[in-house]
Chains A and B, each alone.
Chain A
């Protein structure tokens, strides 16, 4: 009787181990989602967004800050990681009262790490206050940054 119970318990344990092994194999396959080896395309993501007053030739911010003066040109450098034949980045700048300051987009064909910069300027100066930049990748919100324009 005891031996029968022990055998039954052993069977249950073996079945559970087999199920667990099957599940873990599924998880491994899922880990490669977004990568398609046949086309050499990898999922593109926004890796980083940096704000500043100036950019270099590599489109990276050379004077990083989140506090600006009214006459500054405000740069946002968006680093994407991944490869795709086409992706669209959109930058939406808004003021603290909810007004849209500017919205622009750019289509890119990213190949591994790329940088795309967006910039805005206002000839008669930015109103002092808090601002927000939202970066979208293929119409999906990817990153949000806030910054401030301080009166002189």
Chain B
């Protein structure tokens, strides 16, 4: 066995150093960076996101729902948002200003 083989064997037999229980820490004279302000929570419901629509001749809640939501079946959302001025969902009048929630 050559001297190189002996050295290699010695290296192979040497146990690997264990650093599993190393403890560490740090401290500084510098200030801590300011944390970014938390984002405001999303607005509840649809307040603040509504649009206003002026009813034209020949309009219906279904037609308006189709125009804004792409789905005529969502007419109820507009009806519920405008209950104070719509007594009958089948009867809306030209010139009425309707709130369109979540438009």
Contacts and interface: CB of A to CB of B under 8 A. Distances in A.
Interface of A: 58-59, 80, 85-87, 91, 95, 97, 99-102, 104, 106-111, 114-124, 127, 129
Contact of B30 (A80, A120, A122, A123): A80
Task: Report the contact-size class of chain B (Cβ under 8 Å from the partner).
Answer: 10 to 19
B48 interface: no
A119 B28 contact: no
Interface in B1-36: 16-19, 21-34
Q: Is the interface of A mostly helix, strand, loop or mixed?
A: strand
A120 B28 contact: no
Contacts of B33: 85-87, 107-109
Nearest to A55: B27
9 contacts: A85-B34, A99-B19, A101-B19, A102-B19, A106-B26, A106-B28, A108-B28, A108-B31, A119-B25
Nearest to A115: B29
Contacts of A116: 26-30
Contacts of B21: 122-124
Given A118-B26, A121-B24, 19 more contacts: A80-B30, A85-B34, A86-B34, A95-B19, A101-B22, A106-B28, A107-B32, A108-B32, A109-B34, A114-B29, A116-B26, A116-B28, A116-B29, A117-B26, A117-B27, A117-B28, A119-B26, A120-B22, A123-B23
